[in-house]
Amino acid sequence: MSRLWDRGQSVDERIVAFTVGRDPELDRRLVACDALASAAHATMLESIGVLGEDELSGLLRELAAAARDAREGRFEITVEDEDGHTALENRLTRRLGDAGRRIHTGRSRNDQVIAAVRVWTREILVDQLEALLTLVGRLLDLAEEHRETSLPGYTHTRQAMPSTLGFLFAAYAENLLDDVPWLETAFRHADRSPLGSASGYGVALPLDRPLVQRLLGFAALQHNTLAVQNDRGKTEYLVLGAALAPAVDLGRLASDLIFFSTEELGCIKLDERVTTGSSIMPQKRNPDVLELTRANSAVLHSCLERVLLVAAKLPSSYHRDYQLTKAPLLQGLRLVRSMSRVMELTVSGLSVDAERARAGVLPEAYATHRALELVRQGVAFREAYRAVGQGGGADTALETDPRALYAVEGSAGRLELERARERVAALRGRSEEARGALMARLTALESGGTA
């Protein structure tokens, strides 16, 4: 079968191989979403008289089959196909003849790929949101369980003040909850229909763009057709930027778990199921999963940088440069989803040595509290600070439970975990609503319906 742009000219195969790049490999992940968008486009074409009723029925049936094959890893894309869009159209043409040749009416590969990427992006952002909320739930459980488990608090990797393990877990739960609005904003940006914009200038056909929007469940129509193309790269870096927020927090959490699980501290022990060994040292239980989580937060940052560098300062409308924004988007979003899932698995199997954690709090960690106790006795803070710094106040009696030493809202003594749990419940409700809407359209397609 021919390529979609083939006019009968001969093109050097070395040029073809270079320009095709990784599209056959990458597009296998997008074919099911492309089939879904194509089903909506075909339904619209039938509504304006471009396709007959029987042609539409055949197309919906074959698109559903293509989506199933793609999700089960059976859809093949070759270098000769060039990309998933061509492979899909060639398959439809082989099986349906003219109906397959008509489906691209009023459509360019430009708006076709944007639609497929946005459908895929919505789906994986919901996956990521659900994975994040599951992890937050685990962290809140640990925070509740270890409210009273003493732990040194560090700055500059030096002991600073007494704290609790529950306080640490609650902090990361809140950090990750604060990342959710970033993901929701990215979802809203991707949740706009691009179809009907063609190559950026629309087409001389009465396409019903709002119908396609409704069929695909997009919240809005991206109105200006040139703006659709100008959005290439922008959507990708907004989405990756949103994904980078939890990735950074996951990397930090990984570093803390590595630190507190060292043999020297031993406050935390990792489940053997999430550790690996050494090829020469039989005693080793290495935290590779945490080290790779930490490193992959940097990899995700590089995905964002690649998109920014490719898309920056391009003129309006489509340029082939945008082909190179697909790989970092797919890699980055799949990566942060995996990071969230393995971190949830890791924290679920943690065990804690409360005695070692308590014993690890050095007397010096209470220095600030000793200074404040002198303040309560009427000493000016700066004088109290200097006195304790020079060894004074050592005989000041202090409560040894770190929670009793803190009165500030949000500190170890006032975690107020129920507030965080209420946020999780509200966010999970929105996530489940979005998941239900997406799955309903996929199910309709795969059963041969019109989404």
Task: Give the containing element (helix H, strand E) for 359.
Answer: helix 354-359
> Does the pLDDT value for residue 374 go beyond 80?
yes
Encode burial over 283-315: b for 16+ CB neighbours within 10 A, e otherwise: eebebebbeebbebbebbbebbebbbebbeeee
Work out the percent of the chain whose per-residue pLDDT is above 70.
92
Q: What is the pLDDT of residues 169-183, one digit of tens each?
A: 999 999 999 999 999
Q: Does 192 have pLDDT greater than 60?
A: yes
Indicate the pLDDT class of residue 47, thresholds 50, 70 and 90. very high
Report the phi/psi class of residue 285: left, alpha or beta, with left for phi > 0 and alpha for psi in -120 to 50. beta
In this predicted structure, what is the pLDDT of residue 408? 67
CB 355 within 8 A of CB 269: no
* Residue 143 CB contacts under 8 Å (≥ 6 apart), including other chains: 166, 167, 169, 170, 173, 415, 417
pLDDT tens-digit series, residues 227-268: 999 999 999 999 999 999 999 999 999 999 999 999 999 999
Query: Is residue 2 among the annotated active site residues?
Result: no
pLDDT in tens, 151-168: 999 999 999 999 999 999
Candidate list 2, 223, 278, 316, residue with the active-site label: 278
Domains and CATH numbers, the chain: 13-105 (1.10.275.10), 110-359+419-446 (1.20.200.10), 364-405 (no CATH)
The three-state secondary structure class of 416 is coil
Q: Which amino acid appears at position 269 of this protein?
A: K
pLDDT surpassing 80 at residue 395: no
Instruction: Give the pTM.
Output: 0.89
Nearest CA-CA partner of 113 in 272, 238, 232, 219 = 232
- Give yes or no: 316 in active site: no
Phi-psi region of 325 (alpha: psi -120 to 50; beta: other; left: phi over 0): alpha
Query: In which band, very low, low, confident or very high, does the pLDDT at 382 lie, cut at 50, 70 and 90?
Result: very high
Q: What would the two tokens of residue 424 be?
A: 């999780």
- Is a pLDDT exceeding 50 seen at residue 316? yes
DSSP 194-253: -TT-TTTT--SS---HHHHHHHHT-SEE---HHHHHHTTTHHHHHHHHHHHHHHHHHHHH
The rounded distance, in Å, linking the Cα atoms of 257 and 348 is: 13
Residue 21: Cβ-neighbour burial (10 angstroms; 0-12, 13-18, 19+): middle
How far apart, in whole angstroms, are the C-alpha atoms of residue 397 and residue 370? 8
From 156, 279, 351, 447, the catalytic residue: 156
What pLDDT is recorded for position 445? 63
Which is it for strands 158-164 and 192-193: parallel, antiparallel or unpaired? unpaired
| pLDDT over 60 at 7, yes or no | no
Average pLDDT in the chain: 89
User: For residue 161, what are the β-bridge partners?
Assistant: 153
Residue pointed to by tokens 């789906």: 123
Query: Over the stretch 258-309, which tens digit does the pLDDT of each residue have?
Result: 999 999 999 999 999 999 998 899 999 999 999 999 999 999 999 999 999 9
Contact between 164 and 146 under an 8 Å Cβ cutoff? The reply is yes
Residue 73 DSSP symbol: T
Residue 125 CB contacts under 8 Å (≥ 6 apart), including other chains: 183, 186, 187, 190, 239, 333
